[in-house]
Structure 1
Amino acid sequence: MHLFGRTRELQALGEAFADSARGHGRLVIITGGPGSGKTQLVHEFLTTLNSTGARILTGSAGWAERDQPMSLAGQLLRNAEAECAMSHHARPAAHIPGDVRRPADSGHRPVGAFDGHESATETLLRLAGGDRPLVVAVDDAHAMDRASLQTIVHLLHRGRSRRVLVVCATSGHFGETRSPAHTELLRQPHRRVRLAPLSAASVGELLAAQAGRPLPGHVRDAYHRATAGSPLLIHALLDDSAHFAPEIGPPIAGAAYRQAVLSLLHRGEPGHVRVARALAALGALAGTVPVGDLAGTTPAGTQEAVDVLNSSGLLDGHAFRHPTAAAAVLEDMEAAARTRLHGRIAQMLYRSGAPAVEVAHHLRLADLVPAGWGAGVLRTAAEQALAADDVERCTDYLGLVLRDCTDEQERHALSVALARAEWRTNPAAAAPHLEPLREAALAGDLSMRDAATVLRYLLWQGDTELAAQAVATLVHAHSAADAQIVAEVEFVRQWFYGVALPGKGAPVAGLDRRRRQAHAGAGGLAARVAALIGGEATDDSAAAVAQALQGHQLDHLNLELVAMSLLAVAHADRPAIAAEACDALLERAEERRATTWQALLGSIRAEIALLQGDVTTAAQGALTALGTLRAESWGVLIGLPLSTAISAHTALGSYDEAEELLKHDVPEPMFRTVFGIQYLRARGHHFLATDRPFAALGDFETCGRLLREGNPSLQKGIPWRSDLALANLRIGKARTAREWAEEQLGLPGGHSSRARAMALRLLAATCKPHRRASLLRESIDLLKACGDRYALAQAYADLSAAHYELGEYARARLVARQAAREAEACRIESPVDAHLLEDPVRADGADSDAGPAILSDAECRVAGLAALGYTNREISARLHVTISTVEQHLTRVYRKLNVANRSELPSKMLDHRIPKLSDRWASTHSSAG
């Protein structure tokens, strides 16, 4: 550690040496808190004397040697012996008394009965009487043994007219019995040099000197706050900062800082160490608990220790200035002693009526559940911790209670409570607590709330058959709250998971009756969602669900209900409303650090973006959600983010990324839920996009089979018939495709505008151009209403193709531009051929002054057929116009193109006027009818 900011103190020491060198013996007492730089100041001062020829003797006292007479004096004289051995002016044996060379052999006698100090004093006086000044420097002088103190005092008395300087560095604090050395030194004529902590300004100068440039004020203040200006601690922080970063920034407390803290700690008396440990263990409670009772010190001794620790820069009042300092103090203890200390604190806090969370914190650190009251305190604290979203602390408390619990019913309740807490951040961690409770749930041995938690776990993992059996145990609700739980669980089972898919077992008794009662009994959110799903979707019904969501508090039991509500609003053609509500819920989930909630809500938000045609946001959001939880924590719900991510990447043309996503392992039970069906649909559409229509057809047929065999109410919400229509189109079965599309359109009830628009577009693909254009316009109107800009871009592209086939090239271009604009908004490649986006070309040879000689669509159609050799009658029949109209169009064409007859029609110009289309685009957008 480099000395800094001690110029005045060094000057005072230099003046004292100058006086002593002139034959005026001097005593200088240096005081300051631990770590203030007293030792460094003495060392720096002695270094300045190298050129003076002074004889320098140094020694350091210590509490461990305080009861060993002449221990310090022995150090001084042995140093004198060594110094004389290197000098040409004297022999050591002539000056060093033999009884001083082995001070430990003299026994522990009172100062008055010990004669060694007199001969030691004589030796020191002889050294001071030579031709060289004598400087005696003693570090930690307050810890001197009595005999050595007598030696120093006698030297001062008899050396007042000699060339002798005694420098004693002392802490300025004393033990409970007070330091006789410090007191006696203060009685002697002396000059005091006080080392105060460095000011904030001095700390800034020190940092600037280290960095080679001034540092921001907030950095200086951070160092000063952490150290109270202690040079030792500042330099330790600088050492750590240099280890972690090339430049000095905010303080980093690492190994060097910890070492400095322990160095300061162990310089004091044992009582000071015990007080420091008690304060570190108490933390924020340090000012409310009798620290002396924990440390075994008197009130005066406790206050003295607090003062010393404050002056050393470790404490600010009763609190440690830096958490790393408190941690270092506790880690310095033996584990068993630390555990006992926390146990005593917990006992004291409980007896004083402290809040449960404060008592539980120390019970956890003590790994202790006291009989009679410990379990109750820990359970109360666990509930409060979970309410404060501190899942880790909650599970620690519950785990401690469960470890010592022997009652079976209590163990069941504790296991479910643990699972509920861990589910919030890691569903996989909840599994070991819930697996053993399957039988208890089936036997009806759990409360309604706990049974619902086990059922939720079964559904999450895809155990649909056992879930159905567990639902049977919830038939008889004994209270309104229980009825609410039953209704919401049944609602989520049917609509969110879609697990009305039957198992191999017999039907569950009472299930149909509960289905009829579920919507009526759920109230609030579930009832409004039921109304939205079961009836005609309106702005009012969607707004009612969104309004209920705003006042809904997320918790472990209703997460899936909230997710289902968001999906219901989004699929009811109100994705913007759903997005706004989902964003608000996501923000709350992030604030509450609920990882599972963030993952599921993030998946929902990605699907909403997909429904809006924002495929880039959908892809990014789905991947983020997918990475929020480990694969084993997703259960069957992994199909939700996976299907969205696959669909979005396919729409973006990122086929390789979609293929990688399809390599993810998925649980087999997922295919017995709606998430498996959505996964199969996403995979099927990817197969279509990558020219594997028969593989796609297989996936879509599987979806249809599962839905027909399972929950019939889900069928209108999942347009699997339209999927089959698209796959059949791709393999050339236009008639089958039309049948599937018509069946989708003929479904009763209010299926979504998006699903109807998709079916209309597919039906259009099987029709002649005139009919096709009409159907596509209806599809476009529906897509505008529901807000799916991706599907809207595709529908516009189809309509452009229909106009093109009708020979309506201007309209084809106009609609193609609309398709391109929607595609640009979705950040996808344009679905129309580039030629359709080019400006029309003027006829060759047209006079620019006369304006552009551009043929109209009608003229272009007639001229094109005439150039190909059709007669006027044939053109009339083909275009459904009169022969007179054909003749009129041809007359105008001849005039505009300056030709005499049809044989002179420039086919090359017509090639420019009529857009050329790529084979790929033409094949995918031409009529199949």
Structure 2
Amino acid sequence: MHLFGRTRELQALGEAFTDSARGHGRLVIITGGHGSGKTQLVHEFLTTLNSTGAHILTGTAGSAERDHPMGLAGQLLRIAQAECAMSHPAPSAVHSSPDVRRPTDPAHQPVGAPAGHDTAAETLLRLAGGDRPLVIAVDDAHAMDRASLQTIVHLLHRGRSRRVLVVCATSGHLGETRSPAHTELLRQPHRRVRLAPLSEASVGELLAAQAGRALPGHIRDAYHRATAGSPLLVHALLDDSTHSAPEIGLPVAGAAYRQAVLSLLHRGAPGHVRVARALAALGGLAGTVPVGELAGTTPAGTQEAVDVLNSSGLLDGHAFRHPTAAAAVLEDMDAVARTRLHGRIAHLLYRSGAPAVEVARHLRLADLVPAGWGAGILRTAAEQALAADDVERCTDYLGLVLRDCADERERHALSVALARAQWRTNPAAATPHLEPLREAALAGELSMRDAATVLRYLLWQGDTELAAQAVATLVHAQSPADAQIVAEVEFVRQWFYGVALPGKGAPVAGLDPRRRQAHAGTGGLAARVAALIGGEATDDSAAAVAQALQGHQLDHLNLELAAMSLLAVAHADRPAIAADACDALLERAVERRATTWQALLGSIRAEIALLQGDVTTASQGALAALGTLRAESWGVLIGLPLSTAISAHTALGSYDEAEELLKHDVPEPMFRTVFGIQYLRARGHHFLATDRPFAALGDFETCGRLLREGNPSLQKGIPWRSDLALANLRIGKARTAREWAEEQLRLPGGHSSRARAMALRLLAATCKPHRRASLLRESIDLLKACGDRYALAQAYADLSAAHYELGEYARARLVARQAAREAEACRIESPVDAHLLEDPVRPDSADSDAGPAILSDAECRVAGLAALGYTNREISARLHVTISTVEQHLTRVYRKLNVANRSELPSKMLDHRIPKLSDRWAGTHSSAG
């Protein structure tokens, strides 16, 4: 450890040596806190004397020597004897020399021998009798035994006119009181060198020397704040920081720092150690609690300890400068003693009226629930911790109370409260607390709020039958507040999970939020959402729900209600509004570190992106949400992010990724909820995209059956009939497809513009070209209104194909470009044939001065049908023109394309990039018959 910032102190020692070398005996007392560098300063000073020829004797007055008279003096005499032995090699000369012989070995003299210290002092002084000055350096002089102290004092008295310098480094304290040796030394004529902590500039110099360059001021300041300029602590932090990184940055407190802290701690008296431990345990409350009562020290002793700890750089007032220092001090304690200390602190804090959270912190660390008041304090602190989003601390407090609770009803309430807190971050962790409460919930042994929590658990895990039974038993609520809770649980059960009561297709009387008064808060929100879902929405109802969400406070009861509200707004053709509201709620969930909320809201946000046609964002968001919770924590809700991710990857053409997602294990009860239905729909569309239409048909038929049997009220909101129409269209059953599409369109409200648009598009695929184009234009208008750009790209592609079949090639190209633009916005491949995005070229004609010729739209229509093999009569009937007109068009086509007969038309049209009937149209046409 190099010395920095001690130039003046070294200079003072040098001046004292110069005076002593001239025959003026000197005493220099070096004072400073523990770790201030006293020993290092002495060592550095003695190094400067190597070329002076001085006799140098060094000794340390440690605690081990304190009970042995002449302990320190013995060290000095042994060094003196060794030095003389080197100067006089003959053993007889050494032992007989009067200059170094000790009449009685001081280390073995009887206690209280009257002449020991005088004789030792004279023996030492003989070394100063020659040409070489004598320098005696004593470290930890405050711990000097009395006989050695008398030796040093006698030497100082006799050496005032001798070439003697005595340097004593002392902290000034011995145990709890002022050191007698220190006090006695101060009575002698002396020069004091006081070692103050390193200044910020000196710390910066030290850091620069280590780094090889000047470091920024904020790094220097950080080191100084953490150490108060203690050289020992600064070097320890440097060791840790350079160990973890090649460059010196902000201080890192590791093993070296912890060791330095403990070294400083145990240099002090036992009482100082006890005070340090009490302060470390108290933390921020150190200034408000009688520390002496905890440490067993007097007020004066406590203050003395605080002063010493401050001077050593550990404390700033009553607080540790670095949290690692406090942790190291506590970890150094015996575990039982540490536990008892926290218990005593908790009692002191409780008696002083400290906040519950502070008392509870120490009760937890003491693993203690005092009779009479402990449980109440811990429960209060748990509520406050949860309000501050500290789930871990909340569950620790509640778990401690539950462990010592014997009352069964109280244990039920504690178990629910504990599960409610754990649900925020890990629903699976709540299972052991809620599983035993199923019967209690059915029997009405829980409060309404607690019963609602158990019901949410049942639904989350897919136990829909038991949940429905429990809801039915709660119909007769005793208070408006309880009735509101029951109504909200019923709303979530029916509309979010999609589970009806056994044998019922509608909510139990008195539970339907649509028939209840729209109370403030979540009650009013539930009623508005139910209106949207039930098809009773007005133009402003979606905006009203979104507005209500803006002030919505997420809590343990209404997360699913908020999620259902977002989905309702999105499906009511307001996905942009839903996205903004969801982003706001998601931001709050992240701020509150609520993992479960983040996962569910992230899944909803991905679903909204899918409804907007942003399939890339949907896939990324769904996968991120899926990874937020472990699979066992998702319960049946795993179907939500999975279905979105599968649908998005399928839309992107990432079929392998979708297949991998389909390999995820899903709980069987999921298929009794709406999440299972959404999963089956996503899988079915993936099957269609990968040429497995019959497998898709099976999934879609299952969706319809589950909805009819489980919750008919949801059928209007899930377009499974359109799914069946698409599957039948793919297997060539156009008539069946048309029937399903028409049935979807006949539904009396309750389905979004998006659902109607998709049904119109499917119906168009079964119709003749003119009718098809009309239906597709209506579908496109609806898709523009609802904001689904992916479906819009597909509809534009269909319309382009319809215009092409009608021979309206210019329109086909125009609409194809619109399809391509929408596809580009969705970051997917264009759904139209590439030739429709290119301008046709005129064939070169060597015989024509007018330049290249191009076919008119009418000629293109005739040529296109002729190239497909249609006869002139068939073309005439299809285009509603005379056979003569067909022949005239073909004549001009032959001349412009320089062909002899119609068999050459396909290749010539391809050569000149003249539009042909697209594969998209051909596939549709073949199934429309």
Worse overlay, 650-659 or 188-197: 188-197
Secondary structure class of the residue paired with 1:410: helix
8 Å Cα contact 1:575/1:608 also seen in 2:
yes
Cα distance between partner residues in 2 of 1:743 and 1:814: 32
Distance 1:740 1:522, change over 3 A: same
Tell me by how many angstroms 1:116 deviates: 2.2
Secondary structure class of the residue paired with 1:292: helix
| Aligned twin of 1:732 | 732
Worse overlay, 882-891 or 712-721: 882-891
8 Å Cα contact 2:500/2:507 also seen in 1:
no
Worse overlay, 900-909 or 588-597: 900-909
Distance 1:863 1:725, change over 3 A: closer
8 Å Cα contact 2:31/2:172 also seen in 1:
yes
Secondary structure class of the residue paired with 1:927: helix
- Please, which runs of 5 or more residues in structure 1 have no aligned partner? none
8 Å Cα contact 1:767/1:927 also seen in 2:
no
Structure 1 length-normalised TM: 0.94
Tell me by how many angstroms 1:811 deviates: 1.5
Worse overlay, 106-115 or 138-147: 106-115
The answer to whether 1:848 aligns with 2:848 is yes
Tell me by how many angstroms 1:61 deviates: 1.6
Distance 1:13 1:410, change over 3 A: same
Structure 2 length-normalised TM: 0.94
C-alpha distance after superposition, 1:223-243 (max 9, x if no partner):
111111111111101100111
8 Å Cα contact 2:69/2:146 also seen in 1:
yes
Distance 1:143 1:513, change over 3 A: closer
8 Å Cα contact 1:261/1:328 also seen in 2:
yes
Tell me by how many angstroms 1:522 deviates: 7.3
Secondary structure class of the residue paired with 1:349: helix
Q: How many residues align?
A: 929
C-alpha distance after superposition, 1:799-827 (max 9, x if no partner):
11112222222211111111111111011
Distance 1:756 1:152, change over 3 A: same
Distance 1:299 1:121, change over 3 A: same
Tell me by how many angstroms 1:25 deviates: 1.8
| Aligned twin of 2:535 | 535
| Aligned twin of 2:94 | 94
8 Å Cα contact 1:459/1:467 also seen in 2:
yes
Distance 1:691 1:896, change over 3 A: closer
| Aligned twin of 2:625 | 625
8 Å Cα contact 1:63/1:269 also seen in 2:
no
8 Å Cα contact 1:472/1:510 also seen in 2:
no
Distance 1:886 1:31, change over 3 A: same
Tell me by how many angstroms 1:862 deviates: 3.4
Secondary structure class of the residue paired with 2:64: helix
Distance 1:689 1:396, change over 3 A: same
C-alpha distance after superposition, 1:316-374 (max 9, x if no partner):
11111100000001111111111111111111111111111111111111111111111
Worse overlay, 182-191 or 63-72: 63-72
Distance 1:511 1:828, change over 3 A: same
Cα distance between partner residues in 2 of 1:111 and 1:507: 99
Worse overlay, 399-408 or 531-540: 531-540
Distance 1:69 1:763, change over 3 A: same
Tell me by how many angstroms 1:15 deviates: 2.6
Tell me by how many angstroms 1:127 deviates: 2.4
Distance 1:51 1:891, change over 3 A: same
Cα distance between partner residues in 1 of 2:708 and 2:215: 72
Secondary structure class of the residue paired with 2:862: helix
1:119-134 map, 5 Å: 119-134=119-134
- Please, which runs of 5 or more residues in structure 2 have no aligned partner? none
Distance 1:780 1:513, change over 3 A: closer
Tell me by how many angstroms 1:471 deviates: 1.2
Tell me by how many angstroms 1:910 deviates: 6.8
Distance 1:162 1:680, change over 3 A: same
8 Å Cα contact 1:77/1:96 also seen in 2:
no
Cα distance between partner residues in 1 of 2:784 and 2:913: 31
Distance 1:248 1:904, change over 3 A: closer
Distance 1:906 1:672, change over 3 A: closer
Q: Percent identity?
A: 93
Tell me by how many angstroms 1:673 deviates: 0.5
8 Å Cα contact 1:114/1:147 also seen in 2:
no
Distance 1:93 1:290, change over 3 A: farther
8 Å Cα contact 1:809/1:914 also seen in 2:
no
C-alpha distance after superposition, 1:418-453 (max 9, x if no partner):
011111111111111111111111111001011111
C-alpha distance after superposition, 1:366-400 (max 9, x if no partner):
11111111111111111111111111111111111
| Aligned twin of 2:296 | 296
Distance 1:908 1:195, change over 3 A: same
8 Å Cα contact 2:867/2:903 also seen in 1:
yes
Tell me by how many angstroms 1:69 deviates: 2.0
Secondary structure class of the residue paired with 1:5: coil
Worse overlay, 183-192 or 372-381: 183-192
Worse overlay, 800-809 or 846-855: 846-855
Distance 1:826 1:506, change over 3 A: closer
| Aligned twin of 2:752 | 752
Worse overlay, 408-417 or 287-296: 287-296
Secondary structure class of the residue paired with 2:96: coil
Cα distance between partner residues in 1 of 2:518 and 2:704: 27
Cα distance between partner residues in 1 of 2:555 and 2:777: 45
Distance 1:565 1:350, change over 3 A: same
Tell me by how many angstroms 1:158 deviates: 0.9
Cα distance between partner residues in 2 of 1:110 and 1:9: 40
8 Å Cα contact 1:496/1:564 also seen in 2:
yes
Distance 1:690 1:154, change over 3 A: same
Distance 1:94 1:285, change over 3 A: same
Worse overlay, 584-593 or 73-82: 73-82
Cα distance between partner residues in 2 of 1:92 and 1:221: 62
C-alpha distance after superposition, 1:758-804 (max 9, x if no partner):
11111111222222111111111111111010111111111111122
8 Å Cα contact 1:844/1:909 also seen in 2:
no
C-alpha distance after superposition, 1:208-227 (max 9, x if no partner):
11111111111111111111
Secondary structure class of the residue paired with 1:64: coil
Cα distance between partner residues in 1 of 2:482 and 2:848: 84
C-alpha distance after superposition, 1:65-118 (max 9, x if no partner):
433322222222233334444444685995699999999999999986643212
C-alpha distance after superposition, 1:165-218 (max 9, x if no partner):
211111245654311111111222222222221111221121111111111111
Cα distance between partner residues in 1 of 2:905 and 2:356: 97
Tell me by how many angstroms 1:49 deviates: 2.4
Tell me by how many angstroms 1:919 deviates: 5.1
Cα distance between partner residues in 1 of 2:177 and 2:715: 89
8 Å Cα contact 1:35/1:232 also seen in 2:
yes
Cα distance between partner residues in 1 of 2:142 and 2:604: 71
C-alpha distance after superposition, 1:881-910 (max 9, x if no partner):
246755775687688679999999997257
Cα distance between partner residues in 2 of 1:83 and 1:539: 105
1:611-690 map, 5 Å: 611-690=611-690
Cα distance between partner residues in 1 of 2:521 and 2:191: 89
8 Å Cα contact 1:111/1:146 also seen in 2:
no
8 Å Cα contact 1:647/1:685 also seen in 2:
yes
Secondary structure class of the residue paired with 1:628: coil
Distance 1:290 1:894, change over 3 A: same
C-alpha distance after superposition, 1:270-303 (max 9, x if no partner):
1111111111111000111111111111222111
Tell me by how many angstroms 1:19 deviates: 2.6
8 Å Cα contact 2:513/2:527 also seen in 1:
no
C-alpha distance after superposition, 1:655-706 (max 9, x if no partner):
1111111111111111111101111111111111111112211111111111
Worse overlay, 46-55 or 714-723: 46-55
Worse overlay, 879-888 or 231-240: 879-888
C-alpha distance after superposition, 1:534-568 (max 9, x if no partner):
13433311011111111211100111111111111
Cα distance between partner residues in 2 of 1:419 and 1:852: 80
Tell me by how many angstroms 1:51 deviates: 3.0
CA RMSD of aligned residues (A): 3.3
8 Å Cα contact 2:236/2:260 also seen in 1:
yes
Worse overlay, 55-64 or 414-423: 55-64
Cα distance between partner residues in 1 of 2:328 and 2:784: 65
Distance 1:730 1:41, change over 3 A: same
Distance 1:157 1:852, change over 3 A: farther
8 Å Cα contact 1:12/1:193 also seen in 2:
yes
